[in-house]
């Protein structure tokens, strides 16, 4: 990751922000592309198990009916690592790692812009780490929050609001219209040296079964970039398998 960013210079270190949200930037265009190519996107359709016959996945089992695969069909399992382990026999993956806590505050008016046109504010010496503002919503991110992941939302909200108010240079008596804490307990996979040593390749011993997801051995940390790189690799291998 360092070789691909810092060592290549400033142009490779620029954070990219989804202007209107990840749905606009990534999800909607991807779904449109898949559908334009004749694919189908189904959500809320949990795969319960893989039916393996010989050395191939023959079918996917779901509560609402399975999918039977053709002889040249590849399967890419792109679930979180511990879920993938439930489906794929003998698979080694990193365990679940750190949580991420987010707080979102709806403000009565957009706050003053950040200094020097910055897109995010880094907070030092507080519980909050990063503050992002989109119109009237201020969002706070805390990665690897430690005991804060267990903290009561009712106690966390005023604490984070105090830091946010101060960082955004809002008056002492400023208050938010609505506030919400979202705790993602299994936000990233275990990125310790032990966890990283358990990142698998995209190929599996099962002939038509490939893996994707940010936890594949891409060399990148648990990020969207890693998920994209793993997806590209699995896609290229799937094309070879189905050729």
Ligand X SMILES: Cc1cc2nc3c(=O)[nH]c(=O)nc-3n(C[C@H](O)[C@H](O)[C@H](O)COP(=O)(O)OP(=O)(O)OC[C@H]3O[C@@H](n4cnc5c(N)ncnc54)[C@H](O)[C@@H]3O)c2cc1C
Binding residues vs ligand X (CB under 6 A): 46-47, 78-80, 83, 100, 102, 184, 187, 213-214, 222-225, 227
- List the one residue out of 144, 146, 116 whose CA is nearest residue 130: 144
Q: Please report how close the Cβ of residue 101 comes to ligand X at its closest, in angstroms.
A: 8
Q: Please report how close the Cβ of residue 142 comes to ligand X at its closest, in angstroms.
A: 9
Q: Closer CB to ligand X, residue 83 or residue 134?
A: 83
Euclidean distance between CA atoms 157 and 148, whole angstroms: 11
Q: Please report how close the Cβ of residue 79 comes to ligand X at its closest, in angstroms.
A: 4
Q: Closer CB to ligand X, residue 61 or residue 159?
A: 61
How far CA 7 is from CA of 13, 54, 222, 226, in Å, comes to 9, 47, 20, 18
Euclidean distance between CA atoms 216 and 227, whole angstroms: 8
Q: Closer CB to ligand X, residue 139 or residue 174?
A: 139
Q: Please report how close the Cβ of residue 125 comes to ligand X at its closest, in angstroms.
A: 22
Q: Closer CB to ligand X, residue 32 or residue 41?
A: 41
Judging by DSSP bridges, how do beta strands 67-68 and 121-122 pair with one another?
A: unpaired
Q: Please report how close the Cβ of residue 224 comes to ligand X at its closest, in angstroms.
A: 4
Q: Please report how close the Cβ of residue 45 comes to ligand X at its closest, in angstroms.
A: 6
Helices first, then strands: H and E counts in the chain = 6, 10
Q: Which residue carries 């310790």 as its tokens? A: 192
Q: Closer CB to ligand X, residue 80 or residue 235?
A: 80
213 three-class SS = coil
- List the one residue out of 115, 173, 110, 171 whose CA is nearest residue 137: 110
Both tokens of 229, joined, read 């790189």
Euclidean distance between CA atoms 153 and 12, whole angstroms: 37
Q: Closer CB to ligand X, residue 91 or residue 170?
A: 91
């Amino acid at each position: 990751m360092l070789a691909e960013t810092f060592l290549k210079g400033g142009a490779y270190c620029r954070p990219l922000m989804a202007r209107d949200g990840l749905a606009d930037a990534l999800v909607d265009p991807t779904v449109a592309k898949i559908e334009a190519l004749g694919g189908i996107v189904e959500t809320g359709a949990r795969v319960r198990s893989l039916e393996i016959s010989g050395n191939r996945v023959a079918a996917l089992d779901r509560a609402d009916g399975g999918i039977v695969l053709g002889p040249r069909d590849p399967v890419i399992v792109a679930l979180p690592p511990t879920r993938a382990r439930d489906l794929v026999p003998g698979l080694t993956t990193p365990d679940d790692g750190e949580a991420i806590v987010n707080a979102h505050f709806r403000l009565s008016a957009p706050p003053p812009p950040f200094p020097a046109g910055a897109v995010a504010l880094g907070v030092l010496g507080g519980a909050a780490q990063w503050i992002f503002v989109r119109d009237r919503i201020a969002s706070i991110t805390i990665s690897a929050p430690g005991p804060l992941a267990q903290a009561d939302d009712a106690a966390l909200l005023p604490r984070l609001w105090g830091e946010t108010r101060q960082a955004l240079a809002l008056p002492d008596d400023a208050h938010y219209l609505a506030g919400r804490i979202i705790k993602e307990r299994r936000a990233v996979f275990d990125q310790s040296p032990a966890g990283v040593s358990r990142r698998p390749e995209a190929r599996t011993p099962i002939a038509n079964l490939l893996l994707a997801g940010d936890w594949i051995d891409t060399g990148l940390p648990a990020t969207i970039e890693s998920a994209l790189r793993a997806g590209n690799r699995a896609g290229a291998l799937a094309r070879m398998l189905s050729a």
